Amino acid sequence: MIPALPHTHGAGAAPDDPLAVAWLEHMDRQGTAVNTIRARVRVLRSLAASTGRPLADLTREDCEAWWDSRAHLAPATRSNDLACLRAFFKWAARWEHRADDPTNRLDAPKVPQGLPHPVSRADLQTLLTELDGDLRRAVCLGAYAGLRVAEAAALRWEAIDTEARRITVLGKGQKTRAVGLSPLLLDQLLPATGGNVVTAGGDTYTAANLQRKVNRAIRAAGVEETFHGLRHRFGTLAYASTGDLLGVSRAMGHASVTTTAIYAATGDEVLDRIAVAVAR
């Protein structure tokens, strides 16, 4: 097994395979998110353990046997795993390490699209009362700006324009977007210390570390939620207030409005009118 690459912050080990090493180095150079690298490494390790063959020599039958061995897993898990594996073979074909994609006969399972579970107003007020410092600022970035935990962890003061009231967020795929900065959120983040926002100029948390700390603090405060529920709150309220699916999608950094559509399902005023009508 090879050690984690120096910039992946503990992304884990991968099979001792030249192609795996080359791919990890490629992702590291491209600035791929640490959690994405971890997921892809995990899939490569599972595939290597199942087949015992070099990645360059894997056959369609090898991949299909591995896929069948994971039939007991949840659809979302299998869908994510297949996406990770296809990303590897797409890279391998692009750089001419392989001439084929042995996963081309595999079909991703249909994943039921659940509804968002936003943090309630009462629970948010509990968190703001109980938490302070780094954790309070992180919670506010999730609830009032809709930031992902990795985006909140990496946010620096030079990305905040206090005059224009905008936050420039570096999101998934190294894509930037603008998010509105409300007076309430700005008040929670001040003073402007320079450097990292969450740590008030201190050392930057990794996304995984910040997520663990915030989620533990949320549970300790008696709230049965996670950091992601703060982002769900942002999306739900943003759509309920504006009805602008495209605008909310842009603010949240979604690659497709299809992802944002779950907030329309929970914010549809038609449902309220139907409920009133049938109760007459």
- The residue extents of the domains of the chain are 1-112, 121-273
* pLDDT score of 270: 64
Distances (CA, A) of 141 to 150, 155, 192, 235, 267: 11, 10, 15, 13, 22
pLDDT of residue 192 exceeding 60: yes
Task: Report whether 251 contacts 146 (CB < 8 A).
Answer: yes
pTM reported for the whole predicted model = 0.70
The CATH homologous superfamily for domain 121-273 is Intergrase catalytic core (1.10.443.10)
Confidence check: pLDDT of 5 > 60: no
Token pair in block for residue 169: 């967020």
pLDDT at 275: 72
At 123 the three-state DSSP class reads helix
CATH fold for domain 1-112 = DNA polymerase; domain 1 (1.10.150)
242-260 per-position pLDDT tens digit = 889 999 999 999 988 888 8
Q: What is the pLDDT, as a whole number, of residue 76?
A: 85
pLDDT band at 267 (very low <50, low <70, confident <90, very high): low
Mean pLDDT of the chain: 87
Q: For residue 88, give the H/E element and its range.
A: helix 75-94
pLDDT in tens, 78-126: 999 999 999 999 999 999 999 999 999 999 888 776 777 889 999 999 9
**Amino acid letter at 172?**
K
CA distance 66 to 249: 36
